[in-house]
Amino acid sequence: MSHTRRIILERANNFRDLGGFPTSDGHTTVWNRLYRSEVLAFLTDNDWQKLRSLGVRTVVDLRGSDENKRLPVVPPEDIAYRAVSLISEKPKHPDGKKHGGSFDASLVVQYPDMFNGNLPGVAELLSIISAGLDTGSVVFFCSAGKDRTGITAATILHLCDVPDDDIVADYIVTCGYDSNPELGVYRRLAEKLDLSSMGGKLPEFLKRSEPETIWRLLDYFRASDVRSLLNDNGFSYQSQIELKGKLVE
């Protein structure tokens, strides 16, 4: 059976399957089980039907409540919606200035700091994804599908023992799809989100997904023993093994 990593939708340009990645113990991640995406607020009825055909039964929103209010995601009744913000509702800006909300903060907080600053939330998120996999396929998303989504994808692939090079490769392709001026998500976000704290427009660095950014997170995972951190914050070693079992052939 052939598989496609990037799933073509009418109103989401960066919806991707996390299947098919090799693992260090000689297996591969399962296709059609776990997906990553930009925000799903713009999906058409046809798009939602396509998600159903892919087996999606749970969508997990990584955005803050302020983003959710401005740009709500309302899936069909047969698809469960869960929300776990990967960033504090009132995160500190590195330079001490005020920010415009969780989306603004997600652009400036370093990935290791975002992860370490909300370890119970990360543990809860992984528990939700694991439970969702018991009923069907799962998709997780933030606004642009790069930062919080990238952290989540890297964490799960790391727990599945996917090599770092492949995790980095998955990350850096993100802005290639998002950069399409007509179909990419940035134009829609600029129209819907409050960008006053950013001078009224999205910063150019948002449109880059550079390898160094995700390498820093992976270095942090190794240096801090991320499996122990997750175990200590509510996602046990056994739960980590079970998650891998659901996602690796």
Alpha helices (H) in 38-163, listed in sequence order: 45-53, 65-70, 102-108, 111-116, 119-132, 147-159
DSSP for residue 100 = S
- Sign of the four-CA dihedral 163, 167, 172, 174: positive
User: How far does Cα 65 stand from its chain's mean position?
Assistant: 16
Of 86, 142, 160, 168, the catalytic one is 142
- Please count the CA atoms within 13 angstroms of the CA of 4 that sit on its side-chain side: 7
Q: Nearest CA to 76 among 136, 7, 127?
A: 136
Contact by Cβ (8 Å): 33, 138: yes
142 is catalytic: yes
| Count of residues making up the chain | 249
What is the token pair recorded at 249? 């052939």
**φ and ψ at 22, to 5 degrees?**
-70, 155
**φ and ψ at 243, to 5 degrees?**
-60, -45
The residues carrying an active-site annotation are 142
